[in-house]
Structure 1
């Protein structure tokens, strides 16, 4: 059950809405049988990517707020009872990663490291600058970051526009060797990836990519992509999805390099954070499925998205794509916007929401 707390203010896209957390209509969230949703933390302004510390600390970034948070569940009741603001007034610090005891924070143009952070809290360690050679363009500049199986830090650099031709590293995903500071372009032609994960068996990179705007309500789809070799091209800005040519830009030679998506996710759904489920709490049918947070459309005649989707794989082949959690969109009115998905050590998952300023926990009870 949701505990009454203080007033929660949610601001997005120029709209001001106020909720008390006790009034958040979680009863509207539809989940498969046996699953339930609750509030893990509230009053987390503009909650975006999450990262899990070795001792269970949940770190949360933000975009508009410019803050980084640490959430601590000290009594193990799966509700955060302590909130520490680690940083303020950063340049869209949306992306976080936890690695070897340190928290990595991605601003638009810099990567910071907070060493040995869980052993320091509530004191905040002095941040160390890891890398400062990223472009400083705010348009699609906020990051989603993660360490790969190779120990390198993977960083997307979005296109600085709705659609345009741009020089690398724009419209790419790169990886950074945090020791040597060398970077490698992993994927090209990627308009705006704000979510990726590594296959638990093969270690391959899979990522979501947001399609361009202003091609109508139904084109092009957001994508789920699979990188099978370093430097692959995924079409932007010349071709979208499998074979949709861009009306404004063409390059026949580069278009031929297009790697079709593994799955078309729907136009304007704003697919963001994704994760391969590797927990043991959910039924075995969910093992190694992909959960994708769809933030929801902002410029479509009828709204779409605002949900968590499940992608079921057989090897590298998609065999099912279905809703897992819905209800943040009620008709044409939305009261929440999922951003990221992260598995806790008990196998439940957390979902961040930058509209309701909350983090939810979805758990499962055997029937």
Structure 2
């Protein structure tokens, strides 16, 4: 009991990672690709020849880089004109990768379609609008798919989504019934939520701003999709800090009005050690998962394949982003999921090799079928979009690298109840801007301590050493990271923008 109380206090002051590292048993292991997960450092993009050697696919498939230099590439959506939209939450940006007009298997120029957004994640296109899910709102803007250009101003269409705590991403999909579906993860690892819109999938009627809770008890269902029968399936991320092998990650058949167990049950309705004895009338009818993946693999996307891809017709691809709360990393791959005629579900490796001897090459997030029939994969670790095709390998590994991203200013005009996209500079020098005044650095030092940052990043044996910060990042980069912390970091929702910038000023002045 004392240990649980102490751990709760540590969470409140931002010390869970340090406690796991120094004080507590192996159930609280921290083992993430720290440069990416904590510092937002990616990895050098592997040469194409190396990718072909290290990434493994079923016979007949090959991989090439479709686009590079994207940063935290997350959700993808194709336009009818053949451009690929990608959400980049930490940049606050929706990027557009130009269509492959030369049929080389590589995308065209990259430009910022929307900027200045609050952690954009889910993307949809419907009825002449581009919809974007921010953490606390759904935006929409008139959009011409044929030209890839915005044709109006951005409207905050739905506002007031819960935004406190952890699990900031919001996935947005338009269902086959015409409704808009939005997933909202829990605010915590495990707790009783005060807002019943958390750990749930919400839905909205077209042009209606009132949320309906479609399904609940889903801790963090980042990815969901519909099969050819119109059934919704979602992948749910289980809780942490129960050891290497508990609880399993889940593939759920998501049905309206159903409850899926969290925080009272996990896996095959196993009582949770913290809240398993808490009475709740929904527990008696909690729906167990249809299929389970090993613990901590972090499934982020499930997408059904509808094209004639060999071995994948009517199967689904599930991206496993990779563990952080496990003594030996696992996940970091894509699995294909198959349904037998009797409903039995099986899974097999589809794309592996992102994890090499516990070293991380990439972290897959989303998949999508392209207009050319290939499968495209986003990687928020390497900042790459991969193209996976079947048949002859094109282009050759000796072709030139992709052009650097181009930044253009999208059209916008301020209007009541609208938010105009904010332009970005063409290219901002590393660590640009004036040196912050000494009082700002001192304020940042105090906030660095009160937020618990020093427990992980200070001392003689830091969990995540802060090295080469000045060479890699400026104040705005670090402030954005604090606004969108990864799973291995606590939430900093209590910090205001000026406080995040002050911490960044201190970090840049102290850790070179």
Instruction: Specify the alignment match of 2:253 in structure 1.
Output: 226
Q: Note if 1:292 corresponds to 2:301.
A: no
For residues 91-240 of structure 1, the aligned pairs below 5 Å read 91-119=118-146, 121-122=148-149, 125-166=152-193, 167-200=195-228, 202-228=229-255, 230-240=256-266
Distance 1:24 1:359, change over 3 A: farther
Report which structure shows greater RCO (CA 8 Å, sep ≥6): 2
Q: Residues 45 and 382 of structure 2 are in contact (CA less than 8 Å); yes or no, is this contact kept in structure 1?
A: no
Name the residue aligned to 1:301: 327
RMSD: 2.0
1:41–1:316 Cα change, 3 Å: farther
Which residue number corresponds to residue 12 of structure 1?
A: 37
CA distance in 1, matches of 2:374, 2:207: 34
Task: Give the match's secondary structure for 1:25.
Answer: helix
Q: C-alpha distance in 1, partners of 2:45/2:372?
A: 28
8 A contact 2:72–2:89 mirrored in 1: yes
Aligned residues, how many? 354
**Which one has a larger percent strand, Structure 1 or Structure 2?**
1
Deviation at 1:87, TM superposition (A): 2.0
Gapped runs of 5+ residues in structure 2? Answer: 1-34, 394-512
Q: Which runs of 4+ in 1 moved over 6 A?
A: none
Select which of 337, 347, 354 maps to 2:380: 354
- Which of 109-118 and 26-35 deviates more? 109-118
Q: Give 1 or 2 for the bigger CA radius of gyration.
A: 2
Name structure 1 gaps, 5 residues minimum.
1-9
Q: 1:268 to 1:302 in 2, by over 3 A?
A: same
Cα separation, partners in 2 of 1:316 and 1:195, compared to 1, 3 Å = farther
1:227-266 matches, within 5 Å, as 227-228=254-255, 230-249=256-275, 250-251=278-279, 253-266=281-294
Q: What's the counterpart of residue 82 of structure 2?
A: 56
Instruction: Give the secondary-structure state (helix, strand or coil) at the position aligned to 1:144.
Output: strand
- C-alpha separation in 2, matches of 1:304 and 1:239: 23
Deviation at 1:78, TM superposition (A): 2.5
Q: For the residues of structure 2 that align with 1:121 and 1:324, how far apart are their CA atoms?
A: 32
Matches within 5 A, 1:311-322: 311-315=337-341, 317-322=343-348
Name the structure where helix makes up a greater proportion of residues. Answer: 2
Normalised by the length of structure 2, the TM-score is: 0.66
